[in-house]
Structure 1
Amino acid sequence: MQRVREISHDLSEVSSVTELAAAVKGLLEALGLKQKQVAHRSGVSEGTISNVLAGKSCPHEATFERIITQGCGQAWKPWQHAWAQASAEHRRRQSAVHVVAEVNELRNGVQRLESVITELIAKVEAVSVALAERPSDAVSQQRQRLEGARFLAGVGPADFPIMPGRRSPILHVHEVDDFLAEVKKLALQDMAELCIFVLGHPGSFSPLEAEEAWDTGYDESAVHAYVKALRREVNRHLGVEPAIAADALAMGAPRQDDPWANREWSPTST
C-alpha cells in the first residue's frame, strides 16, 4: 500500500498506554484520517483501534504495527520503541493490579478463616464447660459401681447352704442363681432398675421335690432370709416404709408365704 506523508513525532517521551494513545490520536488528526479509514487500510477492527485511541488497552506488537504502517503509512521503527515502552508499563500495571487483587483475596480468606476459628473456639469452650459441669461417663460408671457395691454389702452375702431335699425344704439352685446374678448386675449398673426389679419380683422360688437322696438345692429359709434383707435395703434406698411398699407391690395384703411380707421387721427397726 502506498504510504501517505510521514508525520514527525517526538516519541521518546512515550512511556505509558495513555501517552501512546495520545500520540496515535495526534497522528490521525495530523493526517486527517478517521478510525474507519485506518481500520479499512490496516485490516484491524475499528473496535480495536477505538480501544487504542482511548488508552483502554495495549495491542499486540503486530497489530499496532499494522495500524501505524498500513493504516497510517508511517515508518515503524520510531513507533516500535514507543510501543515497547508503553507495553512494558502496561504489563507492570497489570501485574500490580493482579497482585493487589490477590492480596485482597488473601485478606478476605484470612478474615473468613479467623471467623471460622473464632466460631470453633466458642464451640470448644461451650463443650468444655458442659463437660466440666457433668462427670464423665467413666466417673459416672465408677460412682454407680461404688453405690451398688455399698448396697450389696448392706444386704449381706448370698451364701446359701446346699441341703438334701429329704431333710429340709429346698429351692432350685439355677432359679435362685439367676435371680442373684440379675441383682448384682443391676446394682452395679442402675440402682433405679434394681429397685424396680426387686419390687416387681414375686419374692418366692420354685420348690424342688426331692425324690432321691442326692437331690439337693438351696435351703429355703436361708434364701428367704436373704430376699427379706434385700427388700429391706431397697426400702432404705428409696426411703419408703416397708409395709407401704409391700402393699403397693401386692395391690393388697401380702401372702403369708411371701418372703417380702416381713412381719418381724418394723419401721422403727430401720
Structure 2
Amino acid sequence: MLQRKVDHQRMMADARTIRENISRARGYLRRDDLFRCIESANDALVLKSTGAALGLGRSEVDLLFAELCDEFSRHPRVLAFLESIGISGAAFLRYKAGDETLLIKKLTAFRIKMEESEQREKDREEERRTRQRDEWLALGREHLARKSYPKGKVYLRRVAETYGEDPEVVREVGRLFLDAGLLPEAAEMFALAMERFPGDEQAWRLAIETYDALGEFKKAEALYLDAVKVFGGHPLTFLNIAKFYLKWHRKDDAYEYVSRALDQDPNLAEAKEIREKLER
C-alpha cells in the first residue's frame, strides 16, 4: 500500500515536471527562442521516455506533446530554416507515444544544423565587415598620402564610428591622423580610445605624444600623472615624465621623477645622465 502511494506520488511529480517543461518550451517558441524551446522540449521528452509510468496524467501529457510538435512544425523560422536546407512538405515533428527518443534525435539534429548555419552566417558577416573596414582604411590612407585631407578624414572617421568596438581600430585611425600631422583629429581618436578602453597603454602613450606635439603641456602632464595611477609607476614611465618636464623647463619636477626612476632601477643609464646634468 505504501509503495503504491510512493509510486503514485512519483508519477504525479513526473507528469507535473513534464507539463512544466512543455509549457516552458511553448513559451520560448512564442518568443522565437528556438534553442531554449528545444532544450526544454528535450527535457520533457527524456523524462517521458525514462519514466516507468505516468498514471492518469499520461493522456494529458501525450496531448501536450502533440500540440507542441504541431506548433514547432508550423513556426515560421522552423519552416524557413528547413526549406533552406532542402526539407519541406510533411510536418517536421509528429508526436506518437513511444517515439520520444526519435523526437529527441530530430530536435537535437535540428539545433546542431541551425547552430552551424548561424555560425556560417556570422563568419560571412564578419568577413564582409573586415573587407569593408580594410577598404575604408586603405582609402583613408590613400587620401591622406595625397594630402586630400577632407576625404581621408571622412573615410577614417567612418571606420572609427563603424568599427569602434575594436581598440586597435580606433588607435590605428588616430595613428594615421598623427602621422599625417592632423594632430587635433589624432587627439580626438586617442581620447575616444582611452574612454572606451582605459587599459590600452598604447592609446595613452600616443595621446600624450599628440598633446605634447600640440603644445598642450597641461593635458599631456595630466595624462602622464593619470597613467601612473592607472598602470603603476615604472622606471621608464618616470624617466619619460622627467624628460617631458625638462622639455617644459620644469627642472625641479624633472629631478623628482628622474630620481624616482633611479630609485626603482639604479642602472638606468639615461636617467643617471639626466640627474647628473641637473645636479651641476
Work out whether the TM-score is over 0.5: no
TM-score bracket for the superposition, by shorter chain length:
under 0.3
Which has more radius of gyration? 1
Structure number with higher relative contact order (C-alpha < 8 Å, ≥ 6 residues apart): 1
TM-score normalised to the size of structure 2? 0.23
TM-score normalised to the size of structure 1? 0.23
Which structure: greater helix fraction? Answer: 2
